[in-house]
Amino acid sequence: MSTHAKALIQENQLPPSVALPKLLPPPLKWAGGKRWQLPYLLPLWRREKHRRLVEPFCGGLAVSLGLLPQAALLNDINPNLINFYQWLKKGLIIKLPMANNESCFYAHRERFNELAVSGQGATEEAASLFYYLNRTCYNGLCRFNSRGEFNVPFGRYSDITYRRDFTPYQTVFENWEFKNVTFSNLRLRATDFVYADPPYDVQFRQYSKGGFSWKEQEETAEWLAKHSGPVVLSNQATTRIIELYQDHGFTILKLEGPRRISCTGDRSPAREVLALRNVRRHSLDRHPHSFQGAIMAKTSSEKLASQQKQADDKAPSSRESARAWLVRNGYEEYAALIDEVMAEWKAKGSKERKDWWLVMSGDSKGKPRVLCNRQFPVLAAFQARQGKPVTENAERRNEIEITPPIQKQARWAPKPRRKLR
């Protein structure tokens, strides 16, 4: 565990369950690494760890190696970075000479750029050189010029420990898929847990050949807001970033992170933000210590009123089925679950019917119901509709979810009389 992580746990009095386990370290030295965020992310992840983790901007892999998902989709726009990870997945063992001196560094940098511009950037040699340059260059920066050439100068480290054998990463990476596309081209599943750490909203953004503009920051927010599963966004806590994600309905947490890279030598804490959407609120409430010192910036009352009005305008019909409601509110996989059970009943010639509103409100203790060997989720909106208390395990993906009222008529209610002609 890093010194900073220990200090963070001690300062925030984190419970032992949030302490970081012994993990494989990130294989690269990476500017803006988010290992320090793990005590904040683990409480959010542990109830969602059955999901696939998606990182559209995976960077140094500190978060993925800290959360250790069973399945992951990890993407980055930097092709050299993804090539390195793909070779780690194959069991990379570096054979080229590695030394902490300028002559070796600039010779390897020249060779790396030759491979990159000649279309050989996906080779094992390129992956090995990328690791060496990362460990030896100035501050571990990853920067490219307009021609796509690595142009970070030699670093000033007194001593460097190089790693040659990366085979321990093979087992961890076995069910992790690595992609090199723009984030908007990733194919998400409705149930994916997305952790997004795009380039900071700061002056230095030449992380890959094209850079990262404010327009792309806006496109990132719009893309994340469309996802129906849990989303956690990390970025610099600039005023416009906070306003951007508030406008898209995210809950904002402001944190103080370590300032790892600074051209001025300033190592004072950097203000950062976690923007949360479709994250179970009790995941925060049950781990209050892990968020001690985090400032929650709630959406203004005017925005909430506006959101409520929009929701009222779209209030469901009193005859809307549970399945239609699920599809309309981003629970498509649960609508598919209903279809599977009904198809099974039909195949057996059964005329079985269920009140799906009641099924997905859980039993009398709020526990999930099981039908046809399939466990159905417990939804907070369905519990509220049935007049039940909302239990901790109940899922809610949107701040405002309105269900149609129950249409009841007592069995003993008098039947309407026919008008006599």
* Higher pLDDT, residue 314 or 338: 338
The reported pLDDT for the residue numbered 415 is 55
The 10s digit of each residue's pLDDT in 294-315 is 555 444 444 444 544 554 444 5
Per-residue pLDDT tens digits for 250-283? 999 988 877 554 444 455 566 899 999 999 755 5
CATH code, residues 3-77+175-297: 3.40.50.150
Q: Is it the case that residue 224 has pLDDT exceeding 90?
A: yes
Determine the pLDDT at residue 257: 74
Question: What is the structure's pLDDT at 308?
Answer: 47
Pair of tokens at residue 21: 């386990």
Mean pLDDT of all residues belonging to the chain? 82
pLDDT band at 421 (very low <50, low <70, confident <90, very high): low
Question: In percent, how much of the chain has pLDDT > 70?
Answer: 76
User: Based on the number of CB atoms within 10 Å of its own CB, is 127 exposed (0-12), middle (13-18) or buried (19 or more)?
Assistant: buried
| 386-398: pLDDT as tens digits | 888 888 788 876 6
Which of 48, 13, 32 lies closest to 278 in space, CA to CA?
48
pLDDT at site 337: 83
10 pLDDT exceeds 70?
no
Q: Among the listed ranges 86-90, 97-101, 238-242, which one has the minimum average pLDDT value?
A: 238-242
User: Which has more pLDDT, 141 or 70?
Assistant: 70
Fold of 94-164: Adenine-specific Methyltransferase; domain 2 (1.10.1020)
Query: Lowest-confidence range among 287-291, 299-303, 357-361, 402-406?
Result: 299-303
Dihedral over Cα of 248, 253, 256, 258: its sign: negative
Instruction: Please tell me the predicted confidence (pLDDT) of residue 252.
Output: 94
Average pLDDT over residues 64-92: 97
Where residue 79 falls among pLDDT bands split at 50, 70, 90?
Answer: very high
Q: One fold for both 3-77+175-297 and 94-164? A: no
- Which one is predicted more confidently, 168 or 312? 168
* 44 has a pLDDT exceeding 80: yes
What mean pLDDT do residues 315-333 have? Answer: 76
pLDDT confidence bin for 17, thresholds 50/70/90: very low
SS (H, E, C) the chain: CCHHHHHHHHHHCCCHHHCCCCCCCCCCCCCCCCHHHHHHHHHHHHHHCCCCEEECCCCCCHHHHHHCCCCEEEECCCHHHHHHHHHHHCCCECCCCCCCCHHHHHHHHHHHHHHHHCCCCCCHHHHHHHHHHHHHEHHHCCCECCCCCECCCECCCCCCCCCCECCHHHHHHCCEEEECCCHHHCCCCCCCEEEECCCCCCCCCCCCCCCCCHHHHHHHHHHHHCCCCCEEEEEECCHHHHHHHHHCCCEEEEEEECCCCCCCCCCCCEEEEEEEECCCHHHHHCCHHHHCCCEEECCCHHHHHHHHHHHHHCCCCCCCCHHHHHHHCCCHHHHHHHHHHHHHHHHCCCCCCCCHHHHCCCCCCCCCCEECCEECCCEHHHHHHCCCCCCCCCECCCCCCCCCCCCCCCCCCCCCCCCCC
Percent of the chain past pLDDT 90, that is, above it, reads 49
Lowest mean pLDDT among 37-51, 134-148, 183-197, 324-338: 324-338
The residue ranges of every structural domain in the chain are 3-77+175-297, 94-164, 301-385
Q: Residue 70: what pLDDT?
A: 96
Give dist(CA 176, CA 64) in Å, integer.
10
What is the model's pLDDT at position 6?
41
User: Is the per-residue pLDDT at 104 higher than 80?
Assistant: yes
Confidence bin at 11 (pLDDT 50/70/90): very low
Is the pLDDT at 124 greater than 50? The verdict is: yes
Position 400 scores a pLDDT of 65
Distance CA 421, CA 418 (A): 9
- The pLDDT tens digits of the residues spanning 396-420 come to 766 567 777 776 544 444 555 665 5
Bridge partners (DSSP) of residue 256 are 271
